[in-house]
Chain A
Amino acid sequence: MMSEPVSALKVEKLRKTYSNGLVALDGVSLEVAAGRFFGLLGPNGAGKTSLINSVVSLARPDSGSVEVFGKDAHREFREARRMIGVSPQEINLDKFLTVEEVLTYHAGYYGVEKKKAKERAEELLERFELVGKRKQRVSTLSGGMKRRVLFARALMHDPKLLFLDEPTAGVDVELRYKLWEYIRELNHAGLTILLTTHYLEEAEELCEEIALINDGQIAAQDTNAGLKERYAAESIEEVYLKVMGRVAGG
């Protein structure tokens, strides 16, 4: 008899109220199957980043539970966090470090041994065309270059679940396509990906399953094709407008 496959991410009845009284998450439940390319869409302030932050314990939820590959994100935080990679929306690179150091120090924070970290850094520097910049301080890089470093950093400790929070914001078209190609390749190799994006065509192109979030609640969730069918829509953009319009209209 086969045991039930473990979800990469299982969020149950998550509620998060900020100190100013804003309810960012209003009982969100979400399950992302292992190996899935999952999209989380919604307008600004819908709760996307709050959800990610609650999983990685940057935000403290009021109630609810989070499991990452069966590990409780709170009680077994070391195991859970080790499996997660985050490429955040805002660039937050350690300004005292060089490109190469950003990668190797990150690996160290996740307990990856030095030799392995060096090999992995080499691989990612090449992959993201950063070899020529390796000795350069990150603070001196252009925006697009910083974005690449951010992305490579998230992959340094070989996460099993990758959060990409608006990864292509402010990125030129060429890099965006390269990133897409690489993300897809990673997903095919088994990495579970949760993507938040404002570019709906990006979500349509990449994601197998999509959840729409608004006002801290999941408004709709299905496979890419399932959503289009359910809302008699030609594109995810149309689904998005219908769902958000319906929500806005009460």
Chain B
Amino acid sequence: MLADRSFRTLLSREVLRFTRIWVQTIVPPLLTSLLYLVVFGVALGTRIQEVNGVPYLEYILPGVALMSLITGSHMNSSWSVFDAKRERYIDEVLISPMSDLQIALAYSLGGTLRGLIMGAGVLVVGIPFVGVTVEHPGLLLLIGVLSSFTFASLGTMVGAMANRVDQISFLTNVVVQPLAFLGGVFYSVEMLPGALRTATLFDPIFYMVDAARYATLETSDLNPYPTLGIVLLLAVLAFTGAWWAMNRGPNLRY
């Protein structure tokens, strides 16, 4: 019932949307991530020898891939839902036989796929460039899926709640980007002073980056398995928010 033809059609529409505008949705973010690797990894990396016994370029690769994934996933669903709402073609979906749960899930999974493509893109180019082997590919995939789903759901929620374009860019520029930069992509929390270290523990992206780093390099600040539980909880919370917003968001069903 949940994954019926109606749901599958909306999901395939979501995939069609981002593949149709791939020059805008896939190429620029991929390029940005590769620039991070070049600028931070190669240029600065010659000055920073190792972090936790791992060469700097290797150390930042999982986090850069995850940053790309998170950017892709939340932007995809927030813009897709907001655009559909602004131009009212979301009405076609809202009056169809789909439930709000199915609608929220289709938009969120569309964003999840886009995020996974972005993250995988960075790894496909980055792994040969950096020269690492992924230690736990299954775990990395799991972390990737959960992180992507969490941020895609957050995007769905904000897209459904937003009334103005700037609320969408607020999510990207004021919430997600700073959290990503402070989430330990470029450094280990061990390197931070006490207060900042504690603050980092409130950054959800920190847990995702840390677990992804463990899955790739077998080095991390925290034990990866309880971390996985936290990421799972975040995914559930974010999707509950998306579902609620699809049902109660302003100017959806009034």
Contact = CB atoms under 8 A, between A and B. Distances in A.
A58 B91 contact: yes
Chain B interface SS verdict (over half): helix
B5 A92 contact: no
Contacts of A144: none
A104 to B, nearest CB: 9
Interface of B: 4-6, 8-10, 12-13, 16-17, 20-21, 83-84, 87-89, 91-99, 253-254
Most buried by A among B9, B84, B98, B254: B9
Name the 7 nearest CB pairs between A and B, nearest first: A108-B9, A92-B88, A109-B96, A56-B95, A78-B97, A94-B89, A92-B89
Given A97-B13, A105-B9, A106-B92, 13 more contacts: A18-B254, A58-B95, A77-B99, A81-B96, A92-B92, A94-B13, A95-B83, A96-B17, A96-B20, A105-B13, A108-B12, A109-B98, A111-B6
Nearest to A107: B9
Contact of B91 (A92, A112, A113): A92
Contacts of A53: 254
A95 B95 contact: no
A169 B113 CA distance: 40
Interface in A67-109: 77-79, 81-82, 84, 86, 88, 90, 92-97, 101, 105-106, 108-109
A228 interface: no
A65 interface: no
Contacts of A110: 6, 96-97
Nearest to B4: A111
Most buried by B among A18, A79, A101, A110: A110
A119 B191 CA distance: 64
Nearest to A113: B5
A176 interface: no
25 contacts: A18-B254, A57-B253, A58-B95, A58-B254, A59-B253, A60-B253, A77-B97, A77-B99, A78-B99, A86-B95, A88-B88, A92-B87, A93-B89, A94-B84, A94-B92, A96-B21, A105-B9, A106-B92, A108-B9, A108-B12, A109-B97, A109-B98, A110-B97, A111-B5, A113-B5
A93 to B, nearest CB: 6
Given A93-B89, A105-B9, A113-B5, A81 B254 contact: no
A96 B22 CA distance: 12
A62 to B, nearest CB: 12
B86 to A, nearest CB: 10
Contacts of A95: 83, 87, 89
B134 to A, nearest CB: 35
Contacts of A105: 9, 13
Contacts of A84: 95
A218 to B, nearest CB: 22
B9 A109 contact: yes
Most buried by A among B16, B88, B94, B96: B96
B16 A59 contact: no
A38 B92 CA distance: 23
B96 to A, nearest CB: 4
Contacts of B20: 96
A57 B97 contact: no
Contacts of B94: 57-58
B110 to A, nearest CB: 12
A10 to B, nearest CB: 19
B104 to A, nearest CB: 15
A113 B206 CA distance: 44
A90 B88 CA distance: 9
Contacts of A77: 97, 99
B98 to A, nearest CB: 7
A109 B254 contact: no
Given A92-B88, A93-B89, A94-B84, A82 B97 contact: yes
Contacts of B91: 58, 88, 92
Interface in A31-83: 53, 56-60, 77-79, 81-82
Contacts of A106: 92
Most buried by A among B12, B20, B254: B254
